[in-house]
Amino acid sequence: MTLSIIIIGDEILLGQVSDTNSRAIARTFTALGWEVCAIRTVGDDAAAISDAVRHAVAEADLVITTGGLGPTKDDITKRVLTDIFGGGMRLDSGVTENIERIFALKGLQLNDLTRQQALVPENCRVIQNRFGTAPVMWFENAEGKVLVSMPGVPFETEGMLSLVPGGVAEAVKLRFNPDLYFRHRSLMAGGISESALAERLEEFELSLPENLHLAYLPQPGLIRLRLDGRGNDAARLDVDFDDYFVRLRDAVGEYTVYDGDASAAEILIDALRRRGLTMASAESCTGGNIAHAITSVSGCSDVFRGSVVSYANDVKTGVLGVDAITLATDGAVSEATVRQMAAGACRVCGADCAVATSGIAGPGGAVPGKPVGTVWIAVAAPDGSVTASLHRFPGDRSRVIERATTTALLSLAAALDRSDCCRK
């Protein structure tokens, strides 16, 4: 089953905005067993859209287009699709109701331009857009080739792509493989490079049956492994899928940091919450990024008390209570300093545990024996013990900060797992 994607919009050709829709569509349908044969990007131009649609319909079983459906003058996609699939236009009362509902929610006045969005080609089936006013339109020609026209707004496209009832992926599944079932589940791995993990999992990957697939989704310091499965026999798929997921977890072994899909901050928040503990941080080279990662997660306030970003040495001594003599003799980027920073963060923020960082993010600041990327990380555990570790992270300033942040978050989570300490 082959899929061809068409992205419509002058703003993409001008380089004004990034196209994220094609990747979202490709990921969704690749996981559902489709092969994406091409992605075309064209402007808001009738001839170019028409040419791209004819090529795509000829080469693929399914064509998905995004964009060119808004109420503004440059939106000519509907006219082109009516020319290709035949018929006239009709007013769709469901779309009108949807537009009225959305405008009422926002307290906005409806104008005639927006009302025209309810005018759709006679030869299409409307899939109601629950995330915006432009309708999703489903076309099918005499040879059974399907074209789905979706809105260009990424939020709307991503929402309507999903497998949930009424979504585009569900409609495609019902049309092309009504008896196909899907399973997917993620595992987070850390403390290992992607290539080393791939080597470790080589045997497991070779053992996978044809209907199961393992995807690597790496981010700095953390690798998401997603097992995808599909099959016509739901019960059989369940048994096989669960069996191979257990084998995957065994193969990843001690590098498993979380069973599920989560960011490093979410893994730490979960580890704290399960134990009823609170945390704090003291940050030098990560410069607030640990606190930012944690506070990006909604509802973190039950476990996160605060952070002291001690960029200047005076703040390390004055606020965190780091010994001035330690700073003078060992330096800011040292085991002794980072240990005192972690203990200080715990104390001044009234937290059960803490993590601290001190290092050289670059490009300046390197000294003999301490190259750019040198980072000390200390963890103050709930039992009062403090441990520290030395790291050398590769890459530029932003990558060093990212890697140090992820490693610090996972170090504290691992320390909680190890100590198995629980206040509750």
- Ranges within 13-72 binding a copy of itself (CB under 8 A): 13-20, 22-28, 30, 36-43, 48, 52
Nearer to a copy of itself, 68 or 121 (CB): 68
Query: Footprint of a copy of itself on residues 318-347 (CB under 8 A)?
Result: 318-319
Stretch that binds a copy of itself, among 113-121, 234-242, 335-343, 361-369 (CB under 8 A): 361-369
The binder of a copy of itself chosen from 73, 298, 328, 420 (CB under 8 A): 298
CB proximity list for 168: less than 8 A, separation 6 or greater: 64, 127, 136, 148, 150, 160, 161
290 in Cβ contact with 280 (< 8 Å):
no
- Find the shortest distance in angstroms from Cβ 96 to a copy of itself: 27
Letter for the amino acid at 166? G
When the beta carbons of 272 and 291 are compared against a copy of itself, the nearer one is 291
Tell me the two tokens of residue 315. 């703040």
Q: Which helix (H) or strand (E) holds 290?
A: helix 289-295
Smallest distance, a copy of itself to C-beta of residue 125, A = 26
Asked whether the bond before 368 is cis by omega within 30 degrees of 0, the reply is: no
2 touches a copy of itself (CB under 8 A): no
Q: With CB under 8 A as the contact rule, which of the stretches 136-144, 173-181, 315-323, 408-416 interacts with a copy of itself?
A: 315-323
As given in the structure block, the two tokens for residue 145 are 């080739």
The stretch among 204-212, 223-231, 273-281, 407-415 that binds a copy of itself (CB under 8 A) is 273-281
Question: Which residues, numbered 380-419, are part of the site for a copy of itself (CB under 8 A)?
Answer: 397-398, 401
**Is the sign of the CA dihedral 46, 48, 52, 54 positive or negative?**
positive
Q: Of 273 and 397, which CB lies nearer to a copy of itself in the complex structure?
A: 397
Residues 352, 271 contacting (CB under 8 angstroms)? no
Our finding on whether 288 is near a copy of itself (CB under 8 A) is: yes
CA–CA separation, 227 and 59 (whole Å)? 29
Stretches 63-71, 235-243, 283-291, 384-392: which one binds a copy of itself (CB under 8 A)? 283-291
- Please report, as residue ranges, which positions from 79 to 138 form the binding site for a copy of itself (by CB under 8 A): none
Question: Taking CB under 8 A as the criterion, which residues in 200-239 touch a copy of itself?
Answer: 215, 217
Distances (CA, A) of 25 to 216, 289, 339, 352: 18, 31, 47, 44
Binding part of the chain for a copy of itself, among 98-106, 114-122, 251-259, 304-312 by CB under 8 A, reads 304-312
Find the length of the chain. Answer: 424
Of 180, 170, 182, the closest CA to residue 232 belongs to 180
Write the Ramachandran bin of 68: left for phi over 0, alpha for psi from -120 to 50, otherwise beta: left
262-292 in b/e burial notation, b at 16+ Cβ within 10 A?
A: bbbbbbbbbbbeebebbbbbbbbbbbbbbbe
Which window, 163-171, 190-198, 359-367, 414-422, contacts a copy of itself (CB under 8 A)?
359-367
Q: Which stretch in 181-189, 202-210, 313-321, 334-342 sits in contact with a copy of itself by CB under 8 A?
A: 313-321
DSSP conformation class of 420: T
Contact predicate 19/77, CB 8 Å? no
Using CB under 8 A, which of 88, 107, 178, 299 touches a copy of itself? 299
CB of 89 to a copy of itself, least distance (A): 28
Helix or strand run (H / E) with residue 343: helix 335-349
Choice from 139, 182, 244, 304 touching a copy of itself (CB under 8 A): 304
The count of chain residues that interact with a copy of itself, using the rule CB under 8 A, is 71
Site membership for a copy of itself, residue 263 (CB under 8 A): no
Question: What is the CA 190 to chain-centroid distance, rounded?
Answer: 17
From residue 309, give the alpha-carbon distance in Å to each of 106, 378, 414. Answer: 40, 15, 23
Residue 198 found at the interface with a copy of itself (CB under 8 A)? no
Interface residue with a copy of itself among 169, 189, 291, 378 (CB under 8 A) is 291
